[in-house]
Amino acid sequence: MMSVDIVCPIYKNYDQLVSLYEALNKQVDIKINKFVFPMTISEDKEIDNKIREFIKEKKIVSFEVSKEEFSHSLTREKAIKEYCESELVILCSQDVVFFEEHALSRIAASINEEVIYSYGRQICQNHSIERYIRKKNYPKKGYIVSKDDIERMQLMAFFASDAFSCLSRKHFLELNGYQGYDVMFAEDMLYSKFVLDAGYKKAYVEGAIVAHSHKFKLKELYNRYYETGKFHKEIGLFNQYKSTDSGMKLALYVLGQALIHFNIPVLFRWLPDMAARYLGMKKGKK
């Protein structure tokens, strides 16, 4: 039976923590060797103390960081390098929902000496624009990406999500993790590039499924894409790859799906939603 460590950053939501922990313990055909849950300190001392008590009660491995110290890349890197022990490390976010019991074993089984990073399929449980975007970005057929596919796939070659992913710890250490990049966004995309550039492969595992749903307000969506644009501007590693065509195709795909399903709320939301994404990205890149 495969053995894994689980890394999941925790912030300010006790109920999500409890639900996630219980769901992970219901997974089959997999042994969870260690839970490593870095905790970001919030302004709510009562919730933070409840989280601390749960972590202590369940013997979860944890370390604390302030909101100013938290980094999507370096906090995960510290957890993987300093606290994990298993060859396989599964990364997830606290708001994913595991509703079938083979998700961990399926994503873990994808890792080998060539495929050293993989991510699972995400579905959205509400009938929002996000539902159609997830449907497009996480198809029903899995695939493997190598360095040879970059020319054809362009920016999408590096697409991944640490909301539910798996990596080989040995190779993560070999590649020096996130190589010193301190980012608040797209650390999964960054690591994908390091994986492919080094000649290894990345896999999308369609059978490893979780639910991951958001309901962003337009301002939140704008800010999210502003940070995306800022990431690309500051990091600069992806500027040579095309993204405009895929972004337009995605927008048209969402519109087409909304028309097919006669989803009135999405049709009303579509134009301001896509405008918020586009303008946020454009502003962030400046």
Q: How far apart are CA 199 and CA 182, in angstroms?
A: 24
**Which pLDDT value is given to residue 244?**
54
* CB 169 within 8 Å of CB 86: yes
Write the CA distances from 94 to 19, 59, 64, 98, 238, integer angstroms: 9, 18, 16, 11, 28
Q: Is the pLDDT confidence value at 3 over 90?
A: yes
Can you tell me whether residue 228 is helix, strand or coil?
A: helix
271-to-129, 233, 274 alpha-carbon distances in Å: 11, 25, 5
User: What pLDDT digit, counting tens, does each position of 167-210 carry?
Assistant: 999 999 999 999 999 998 899 999 999 999 999 999 999 999 99
Distances (CA, A) of 259 to 216, 246, 253, 255, 278: 21, 20, 10, 6, 21
Mean pLDDT of the chain: 93
Between β-strands 201-211 and 88-92, what pairing exists: parallel, antiparallel or unpaired?
Answer: unpaired
Q: What tokens were used for 32?
A: 């969870």
d(CA 273, CA 263): 15
Longest distance between any two alpha carbons in the chain, whole Å:
51
Residue 243: pLDDT above 80?
no
Q: Which of 83-92, 198-207, 249-258 has the lowest mean pLDDT?
A: 249-258
The residue with tokens 């990073």 is 117
So what's the pLDDT on residue 285?
A: 83
Residue 245 pLDDT class (50, 70, 90 cuts)? low
Domains (range + CATH), the chain = 3-211 (3.90.550.10), 218-285 (no CATH)
Q: What is the pLDDT of residue 41?
A: 97
Confidence (pLDDT) at 231: 86
